[in-house]
Amino acid sequence: MKTRKLGKQGLEVSALGLGCMGLSYGYGPAIQKSEAIKLIRKAYELGITFFDTAEIYGPYLNEEVVGEAIAPFRNDIVIATKFGFNYVNGQPAGLNSKPANIRHAVEGSLKRLKVEAIDLLYQHRIDPNVPIEDVAGAVKDLIQEGKVKYFGMSEAGETNIRKAHAVQPVSALQSEYSLWWREPETKTFSTLEELGIGFVPFSPLGKGFLTGKIDADTKFSDNDFRNGIPRFNIENREANMALVNLVKQMAQQKEATPAQVALAWIHAQKDWIVPIPGTTKIHRLEENTGSVNISLSSGDLTEIQNAISKIDIVGQRYPESSEKMVDKD
């Protein structure tokens, strides 16, 4: 497994991380804890040293699973988690990035993850009611206390990234990015490059769509959040198959899978990008890790770009309630 650096502060991780959310939340029923632990440990065997979770995944359950799974090799990996929500009766109830809540969230995450320090701590979403300077200042205090090592932001816009970075250097921005959602290229890449901030794309496989295993006939389980995503309604899925077919064609040329090509394409964009695909299946995990050995030439990239420019991707990537929490500035 190759490695990459996130940010000028020197945070080094495997070139491919593992997004752990889907083991407990989001894509249907949580898988059995023993199976989740088995998958995380297999990821480590395959060379993955970067594991992503958050207190809201479950809530809390995902951090507990990750904490138990990584215990045997804790000192050899990087754990990222996130703060930023209120909870009422154990369920999310709005944004809250007040310094006191950040500290409370970190104390809880440390216990659930069974670690002495969080390697990379993200603000999960920008809280419009709390100045970002206060958020960055609270994380800076936690870093000075040794409870956190590096600071990250998620779905943040340029203005807030710059303000936060001036208080406490930001090591990584986590936002959605893939062949079918490329907005970060025009919204944040230049800022990240200027400031020396790494980029961690979630949903690098388009929430499973770019694997080629989903079509207009696919039925999602009742508690799969893709049921509420406009881009995944039946008509839009049908229209967006043009992109999947493009990825399949390139995969045939490379004797690879569509997922591997989609991940290799992300790796080819910038050397400070580390995607974190998630999965609940070990054979998919093995498939994803194989992507680091696939190289796309400048000719391949030009061919993909020319083909994509003729494809209209339809449907919003978030339902309205989630879209409101994305920082646009």
Report the C-alpha dihedral over residues 117, 109, 120, 205, rounded to 10 degrees. 150
In whole angstroms, what is the distance from residue 279 CA to residue 209 CA? Answer: 13
Report which of 156, 185, 189, 154 is spatially closest to residue 327, judged by C-alpha positions.
156
C-beta atoms surrounding 227 within 10 Å: 13
Give 42's Cβ-side CA count (13 Å radius).
18
- The contacts of residue 193 (CB under 8 Å, 6+ apart) are 270, 272
Rg (CA), the chain: 19
Catalytic residue among 25, 27, 44, 57: 57
The question of whether 60 is a catalytic residue gets the answer no
Report which of 146, 135, 112, 154 is spatially closest to residue 19, judged by C-alpha positions.
154
**Which residues are identified as catalytic?**
57
